[in-house]
Structure 1
Amino acid sequence: MSQRLRIYSYAKCGTCRKALQWLAQQGFSVDAGNLELLDITEQPPSGAELRAAFESLGRKRLFNTSGQSYRALGSAAVAAMDDATALAALAADGKLIKRPFAITPEGATLVGFKLEEWQAALQG
């Protein structure tokens, strides 16, 4: 396991900016060496990372249902996908993934920025 928190984010995402601001307040930064920051559109999470998130959080939590990529596919098309197809779609298009997408040093996955979940995972 990495000793750093890995964050997949998108610069234009307000929720990502909130999460990064909160993380900075908690002492997480690229400069401190305890944060790895990746652009989710250029370098989406790996298939293995997505599968682990899928298994721990469920399929529904992984999709960015308010994004353009999701709307272009349509909710019915996403609902009709089998799990393997859904994971392949997520791996192929980072904008389909709910963000920020974080992997803690312990290997847990956080999706979206729910303060209570992030506090429990990173401060507890």
Structure 2
Amino acid sequence: MLTQMEAFEGVFIASTNLLDGFEQAVLRRFDLTLRFDYLCADQAWMLLCREARARGLPQPLAVTRARLVRIHAITPGDYAAVVRRHRFYPGHSAEAFVTALEEECALKEDPAQRMGFVRVSS
């Protein structure tokens, strides 16, 4: 694979959620690498407030923020999944939205639920 990457004349773009599994020899072949990490507490809160406004919901309460901060590994994709789900089961408060986020992120917390490609050493 490394030889093919070096010989490739075009623009090569790759994406992974398992960056830590790559050897340094592979990573050195990329001219640019970007890491999109999980949302920090302020980012998660701002996104919740924006989603609440977009749905005509009341401003989230401080206690809701405390719940939101306890959710680990939250991403904008989790918000998008909850928005899609709410088309079928609309929530009527920011608190209901956070409950759905908790449920969405709980699926990721079990390492057995992790998806992706894993490099196996022989």
Q: TM-score, normalised by structure 2?
A: 0.29
TM-score (norm 1): 0.29
Q: Which has the higher contact order (CA 8 A, sep 6+)?
A: 1
Structure richer in strand, relative to its length? 1
